[in-house]
A and B are shown apart, each in its own frame.
Chain A
Amino acid sequence: MVRKLFKRGYATLVYLFLYLPIFFLILYSFNDSKYRGKWNGFTLRWYEELLKDRAIMEALYNTFMIALLAAIISTIVGTISAIAIHKMSSKWKVVFMNVTYIPVMNPDIVIGISLLALFVSLNMRLGFVTLLLAHITFNIPYVILAVLPKLKQLNPYLEEAALDLGATPMYAFFKVILPEIMPGVITGALLAFTLSLDDFMVSFFTTGSGVNTLSIRVYSMTKVGVSPKINALSTVLFLGVLVLLILLQKREKNLNE
């Protein structure tokens, strides 16, 4: 009993540690003062001003657009590559896995500066496109790593059986293999989306004039004072994620029943 209580207490403390800053972030979005620290009364004006702030809205649009596109593209490329890697001889497999680990095992800052060096030496204009390319680059390996274990679990005769029964390779892929590895693909896609959304380091080095993501906006704001509008925005985002998760949970429950 004491043990159980202790465990519960410990878990509560850890979650408190995780959510305390977020709680205050949300709290200060309702504070009627531009400067933090002091509570000056309740207001909703930061939410109003948030909607009018074009720079933040653009950053938000870029952030989501890049995360979405990068997640989709890297999921497609990653899944196809995982299948190819799965079928390779072990010699090639080792080569490809090592290459796959480069972006995983390289610190973000090195990915950022090395891509910056590449883009600059190719004379590319830094902006949306370079950001997208960079994000896809660090996303693909995670998709591969999420899909590979599912491929390993796959019954190797399943595809053969389908082909023997006269299915075209494409048809066999979509009807037989893909549904089986779908959980891995979805994990990979979600992982890619999350990584993109939360990335700062790589974006910071690979963006150019006038194209900002949320992280970059916030970073430049920490140098000039972060506006409570940003708190308002993070409140909206946080609640959005929460609602989405609750909906997903409910749906799963319904499916199970």
Chain B
Amino acid sequence: MNKKWLSIPYALWSLIFSIIPIIIITIYSFCKRSPYGKIIYEFTLDNYKQFLEPIYLNVLWRSILLAAISTTACLVIGYPMAMIISKTSIKKRNVLIMLFVVPLWTNFLLRTYAWMVLLRDQGAINQFLIYLGIIKEPLQLLYNPGAVVMGMVYNFLPFMVLPIYSVLSKMDNSLVEAAQDLGATSGEVFRKVIFPLSMPGVVSGLIMVFMPAVSTFVISDLLGGGQTVLLGNLIQNQFLVARNWQFGSAISMIMMVLILIAIRISSKYQDEEGGGLW
């Protein structure tokens, strides 16, 4: 039976809500700006040239750096966690995985805000350390890049653990056993068998964490105290405060291209349809 027509609603939907919006901001990114922020439909490269100024390149560099640090931290923390979970009994597994998903059902902003309360000078962590006598004066935990990285790791860790877990739990155990039978040490088994086989999950995880981390503005806004400006803050500022949609669009385009490149590089580890994503 011919079922092609079934794809028509989705094709239309994607055209209107995914493709056309991106075309619109592509056009904006090449437009001029009137003194009061109105869009003038005349071709210019100024918006992209503006991005090449040292301030903005600096923001770009810092965003990539912070996102890379957070992504690495998520991998280092998340991989062992996924392994531990995948080794437990099926019954326990479901509970442990659910425990990773439940925080996602409380609100993202609330979770980030909760960290603000924990990290401030009179927050629980500082008070606890003072109570233990480890420190006398409260530590400056909030409002620095470290706090931003922590917020990213906290919010995005499940996106690293879940895909890796799903690959690990489906992994054929006989391969591991075969390697062991052939005399491989547990370190070798991990390096040569388990890790390479879990690559699709790792790659999905890396993308799922890096992408929101490089584009966030809320975490840097709340936990960075306005001192850490990331690409997301820049875009948000251009659209909602500075009224320079053209420049904001140009930054978005640059960010999109960047992410596409990152995905291209990593896609050789993915299945053709990226089934390892979830």
Contacts and interface: CB of A to CB of B under 8 A. Distances in A.
Chains A and B touch (C-beta atoms under 8 A apart): yes
Interface of A: 7, 10-11, 14-15, 17-22, 24-25, 28, 36-38, 77-78, 80-81, 83-85, 87-88, 96-97, 99-111, 113-118, 121, 133-134, 136-137, 140, 142, 145-146, 148-149, 163, 169, 187, 191, 194, 197-201, 205, 214-215, 218-219, 222, 226, 230, 234, 237-238, 241-242, 245, 249
Contacts of A219: 109, 218
Interface residues on B, range: 35 or more
A25 B273 contact: no
B104 A194 contact: yes
A81 B12 CA distance: 11
B248 interface: yes
A28 B100 CA distance: 23
DSSP class of A's interface residues: helix, strand, loop or mixed?
helix
Contacts of A149: 275
A77 B9 CA distance: 8
A200 B116 CA distance: 18
B102 A245 contact: yes
A189 B207 CA distance: 22
Interface in B213-252: 214-218, 222, 232, 235-236, 239, 245, 248-249, 252
Contacts of B6: 80-81, 83-84
A198 B104 contact: yes
A113 B249 contact: yes
18 contacts: A11-B81, A84-B3, A85-B7, A87-B3, A88-B4, A102-B18, A111-B21, A114-B22, A114-B24, A117-B249, A140-B10, A163-B1, A218-B110, A222-B109, A222-B116, A234-B107, A237-B105, A245-B102
Given A24-B117, A118-B21, A14 B109 contact: no
Contacts of B10: 77-78, 80-81, 84, 96, 140
B273 A97 contact: yes
Contacts of B216: 109
B155 to A, nearest CB: 10
A39 B154 CA distance: 25
Interface string B241-278: 00001001100100110011001000000000111011
B271 to A, nearest CB: 10
Contact of B277 (A19, A145, A218): A145
